[in-house]
A and B are shown apart, each in its own frame.
Chain A
Amino acid sequence: DVVLTQTPLSTPVTLGQPASISCRSSQSLVYSDGNTHLSWLQQRPGQPPRLLIYKVSNRFSGVPDRFSGSGAGTDFTLKISRVEAEDVAVYYCMQATHIPHTFGQGTKLEIK
């Protein structure tokens, strides 16, 4: 199975400051269609996951533009340009290039 390793596992951030989460894959996530099927999900406390970013860098419907994704091959990054209180959550990367789909361990974003 593809292993996704997120760093850091926890990140305290001051309101209004940027945040960055890394996701490294044990294998290339480029699919046979040429696309890279790496997504980012947000899970607020007590809530189900919510899709933020798909295919590395595409924001899903309704996602604020302070969220952005980047990367290629095996290394990916989620960035929040200015953290707001509502961004307190656990963030997961997920790959759907290979079967089974797999998730990173999660990164907990807290307000400093």
Chain B
Amino acid sequence: EVQLVESGGALVQPGGSLRLSCAASGFSFSNYYIHWVRQAPGKGLVWVSDMHGGGGGITYADSVRGRFTISRDSAKNTIYLEMNNLTGDDTAVYFCARGTTGWRGVDYWGQGTLVTVSS
């Protein structure tokens, strides 16, 4: 069974940093992209970043480029999202989702982890 489990969400002050984790299981991690998508309270979905589980293939949304860094630990089948210089606009539930093979998109999603940026 494909599973994605996010963790690391917390309340953080403006200007602060946080690292989110996405632990993957039930599939061959190194063969898939993992995406981060966020959803501000009561709002829609916004794609943030992605990375190939085998390394490389990194892209970022303009709104986070230079502040967020995506990385992986292949031994732990885990993708990380390091977030720096956080602002209130970064307040959201952060989902990780598995990229697809054979077609472009995402198929399985985690339950999400809440990041709140507030003083």
Please list the residues of chain A having a beta carbon within 8 angstroms of any beta carbon in chain B: 31, 35, 37, 39, 41, 43, 48-51, 54-55, 60, 92, 94, 96-97, 99-106
- Are the C-beta atoms of A55 and B61 separated by less than 8 Å? no
Interchain pairs with CB closer than 8 A, number = 60
Kindly state whether residue B80 has any CB partner on chain A within 8 Å. no
Query: Quick one: given A39-B105, A94-B105, A96-B106, are A54 and B100 in contact (CB under 8 Å)?
Result: yes
Chain B residues with CB below 8 A from A106, complex form: 44-45
The DSSP consensus for interface residues of chain A is loop
The interface size of chain B toward A, counting residues with CB under 8 Å, comes to 22
Q: How far is the CA of A100 from the CA of B111 in the complex (A)?
A: 22
Residues of A close to B37: CB separation below 8 A: 49
CA distance A55 to B100 in the complex (A): 11
- Interface: B14 (CB within 8 A): no
Q: In the docked arrangement, what's the CA distance between A41 and B100, Å?
A: 14
Chain A residues with CB under 8 A of B105: 37, 39, 51, 54-55, 94, 96, 101
Q: B110 and A48: CB pair below 8 A?
A: yes
Contact in complex: B104, A31 (CB < 8 Å) = yes
